[in-house]
């Protein structure tokens, strides 16, 4: 027993020291020669593993930018200061899946346990960027005393505009589009970089402006209430609230594949007008869930409700599993066996390295034998390029039951990325849907993603993520290089729309349906 306690004590002490060492390294100055070594390391890894490095930028320009970066270092930099120098150069490559990742401070286990199930000062505000101002849309707590529509001037001493300008070259999609960055601004950009610059806090002093007058509020962390108190509140609400009588029962929403970490569903089927003829299938991600069962159940409901007009909402869908997006595609366009075009890699060796890298270290003895399959499944095409022979997007059936043949609208925006851009391209290639919204953040012609190994830089300890497989849609290609799928009807969401809880894309679609789908029919034959 004493030995067990001793071992546990050693592990705890080592963990604390490990966290302390990691946090101390963030404040460590990296000498100039070591910064240059890290640049060389990055470029070497990119050239060995990235299959389309010069897709958007000529090779000589890439050489020049990395050489210029090396020569620009004249004094030591901390790791995250180095990040602000190297990431803009990576951005100029314009491959959204290839990234350098900064270092965030770690917390001790007892601190993580303390704040578990709590909501921090950021999580209590829903915000929206418009032009150069960050607005408050709503708050999770009514007693915060913050007026919706207020502009956030400062969070403690940091200006949101300062963070936007400092880090605006570190978030990017594929190619030359601007919609991806604008989209990320309104999701996690600010929280991400404020946390990078400052420690996680229990309270933050906000400075707001409303109708030209400034005011301040301190927002503190909200901890989960005790079980007894929550139960009492729940019982009180149950007694106090009575359901109003309605003539027509509301059609319920159907939700599929709940994720405990994100506390959200992968797919949701809703009937916002309470009319069974019109439905919205919101696919938030292709990253998790039992997609075979999800789509089988969703499209059975669509058939049972005799839906005539369906909206596929891919807004803010950052991608995920290709097989998931392929399965969804097959419900709109069945009997198509080649969802992807050729899947290119640098060579068999780079493909093998990518396979090995995605395995945890403890499984490396098993990973190496498995990775040798790369030499058996790669081949040369007529252009002398290396491609993977089996498709990475296999599904159980390309002809599912309950294929949907009705009117289809697809809503896209800058957050429609990776696998959601590929399904958008293939749907457009078949002229199967009418697109509403904004240009996708993912390239319409495909992107370098697939297996994305991470490498730790030897000196700064930043991580480099590299896309290694060029994936392209099989049924669509455009001569417009480096841009996403453009909508047939461009509609941007404004701050006023958000504040008034208006969905301008859905509103426009409902109007087109009211007009006998006149715009859809002019495009989709």
Please give the full DSSP string across 262-294, using - where no structure is assigned: TTEEEEEEE-TTS-TTEEEEEE--BSSS-HHHH
User: Locate tokens 């991400």: which residue?
Assistant: 192
> Secondary structure of 181-207 in the HEC alphabet?
HHHHHCCCHHHHHHHHHCCCCCEEEEE
What pLDDT score does 142 carry?
79
For the chain, what is the domain count?
4
Beta bridge partners of 386: 345, 380
For the chain, which residues score pLDDT lower than 50?
1-14, 227-246
Please list the alpha-helical segments (H only) found in 309-466. 322-330, 348-357, 364-371, 419-429
User: Are 333 and 369 in a shared domain?
Assistant: no
What pLDDT score does 15 carry?
52
Residue 512: its H or E element: helix 504-514
Q: What is the CATH number of the domain that holds 305?
A: 3.90.226.10
Rounded to whole angstroms, what are the CA distances from 474 to 103, 427, 430, 478, 497?
A: 38, 10, 11, 12, 36
User: Are 514 and 436 in a shared domain?
Assistant: yes
What pLDDT score does 152 carry?
96
User: Are 446 and 358 in a shared domain?
Assistant: no
**Domain ranges, residue 413:** 254-344+391-523
Q: What is the pTM of this model?
A: 0.90
What pLDDT score does 362 carry?
81
Asked whether the CA dihedral 155, 158, 161, 166 is positive or negative, the reply is negative
Quick one: tokens of 1?
């027993």
Domain-located, residue 240: no
Quick one: tokens of 267?
């797919």
Alpha carbon distance 181, 415 (integer Å): 9
Beta bridge partners of 99: 465
User: Are 360 and 340 in a shared domain?
Assistant: no
Quick one: tokens of 131?
């032009």
Report the candidate in 127, 138, 118, 146 with the shortest Cα–Cα distance to residue 202. Answer: 118
Q: Name the 3-class secondary structure at 520.
A: helix
User: Are 321 and 462 in a shared domain?
Assistant: yes
Alpha carbon distance 148, 139 (integer Å): 8
Report the candidate in 425, 394, 223 with the shortest Cα–Cα distance to residue 323. Answer: 394
Quick one: tokens of 287?
């990253």
User: Are 400 and 372 in a shared domain?
Assistant: no
- Bridge-based pairing of strands 447-449 and 469-471 is antiparallel
What pLDDT score does 13 carry?
47
Last residue of a domain, which of 355, 371, 388? Answer: 388
Domain-located, residue 8: no
Length in residues, the chain: 525
Alpha carbon distance 421, 403 (integer Å): 21
Residue 33: its H or E element: helix 32-49
Domain-located, residue 322: yes
Cβ contact 179:417 at 8 Å: no
User: Are 420 and 372 in a shared domain?
Assistant: no
What pLDDT score does 48 carry?
96
Domain-located, residue 16: no
Per the rule left: phi > 0, alpha: psi between -120 and 50, beta: everything else, 212 is left
Any residues with CB less than 8 A from the CB of 2 and at least 6 apart, and which? none
Quick one: tokens of 376?
């058996």
Alpha carbon distance 174, 164 (integer Å): 20
User: Are 413 and 434 in a shared domain?
Assistant: yes
User: Are 436 and 292 in a shared domain?
Assistant: yes
What pLDDT score does 86 carry?
97
Domain-located, residue 506: yes
Domain-located, residue 248: no
User: Are 37 and 72 in a shared domain?
Assistant: yes
Alpha carbon distance 187, 520 (integer Å): 30
Last residue of a domain, which of 60, 75, 101? Answer: 101
Domain-located, residue 78: yes
Q: What is the CATH number of the domain that holds 204?
A: 2.30.42.10
Q: How many CA atoms lie within 13 A of 28 on its CB side?
A: 17
What pLDDT score does 358 carry?
83
Quick one: tokens of 185?
């601004």
Report the candidate in 345, 351, 413 with the shortest Cα–Cα distance to residue 381. Answer: 345
CA dihedral 116, 117, 123, 126 (to 10 degrees): 160
Domain-located, residue 484: yes
User: Are 282 and 410 in a shared domain?
Assistant: yes
User: Are 142 and 287 in a shared domain?
Assistant: no
Cβ contact 457:463 at 8 Å: yes
């Amino acid at each position: 027993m004493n030995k067990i306690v001793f071992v546990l004590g050693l592990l705890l002490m080592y963990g604390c020291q490990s966290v302390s060492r990691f946090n101390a390294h963030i404040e460590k100055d990296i000498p100039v020669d070591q910064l240059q070594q890290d640049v060389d390391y990055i470029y070497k890894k990119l050239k060995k593993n990235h299959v389309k490095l010069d897709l958007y930028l000529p090779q000589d320009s890439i050489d020049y930018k990395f050489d210029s970066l090396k020569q620009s270092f004249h004094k030591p930099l901390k790791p995250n200061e180095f990040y602000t120098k190297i990431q803009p150069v990576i951005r100029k490559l314009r491959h959204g899946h290839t990234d350098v990742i900064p270092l965030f401070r770690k917390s001790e286990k007892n601190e993580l346990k303390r704040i578990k199930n709590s909501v921090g000062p950021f999580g209590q505000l829903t915000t929206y960027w418009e032009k150069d101002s960050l607005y408050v849309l709503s708050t999770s707590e009514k007693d915060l005393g913050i007026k919706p529509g207020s502009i956030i001037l400062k969070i403690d001493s940091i200006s949101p505009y300062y963070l936007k300008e400092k880090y605006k070259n570190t978030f990017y999609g594929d190619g030359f589009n601007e919609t991806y960055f604008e989209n990320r601004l309104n999701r996690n950009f600010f929280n991400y970089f404020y946390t990078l610059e400052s420690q996680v806090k229990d309270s933050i002093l906000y400075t707001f402006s409303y109708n030209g007058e400034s005011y301040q509020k301190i927002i503190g962390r909200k901890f989960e209430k005790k079980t007894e108190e929550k139960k009492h509140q729940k019982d009180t609400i149950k007694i106090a609230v009575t359901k109003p009588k309605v003539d027509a029962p509301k059609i319920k929403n159907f939700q599929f594949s709940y994720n405990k970490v994100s506390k959200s569903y992968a797919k949701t089927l809703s009937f916002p007008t309470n009319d069974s003829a019109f439905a919205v299938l919101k696919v938030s991600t292709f990253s998790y869930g039992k997609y075979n069962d999800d789509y089988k159940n969703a499209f059975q409901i669509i058939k049972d409700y005799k839906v005539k007009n369906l909206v596929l909402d891919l807004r803010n869908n950052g991608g995920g599993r290709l097989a998931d997006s392929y399965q969804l595609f097959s419900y709109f366009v069945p009997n198509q066996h080649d969802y992807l075009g050729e899947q290119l890699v640098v060579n068999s060796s780079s493909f093998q390295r990518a396979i090995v890298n995605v395995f945890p270290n403890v499984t490396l003895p098993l990973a190496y034998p498995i990775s040798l399959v790369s030499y058996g499944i790669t081949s040369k095409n007529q252009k002398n390029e290396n491609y993977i022979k089996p498709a990475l997007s296999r599904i159980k059936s390309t002809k599912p039951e309950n294929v949907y043949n009705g009117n289809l609208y697809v809503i896209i925006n800058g957050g429609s990325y990776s696998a959601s851009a590929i399904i958008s391209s293939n749907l457009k290639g078949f002229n199967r849907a009418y697109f509403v919204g904004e240009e996708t953040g993912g390239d319409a012609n495909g992107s370098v993603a697939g297996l994305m190994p991470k490498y730790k830089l030897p000196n700064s300890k930043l991580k480099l993520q590299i896309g290694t497989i060029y994936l392209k849609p099989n049924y669509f290609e455009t001569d417009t290089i480096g841009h996403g799928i453009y909508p047939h009807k461009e509609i941007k969401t404004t701050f006023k729309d958000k504040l008034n809880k208006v969905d301008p894309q859905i509103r426009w679609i409902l109007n087109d349906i009211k007009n006998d789908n006149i715009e859809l029919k002019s495009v989709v034959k």
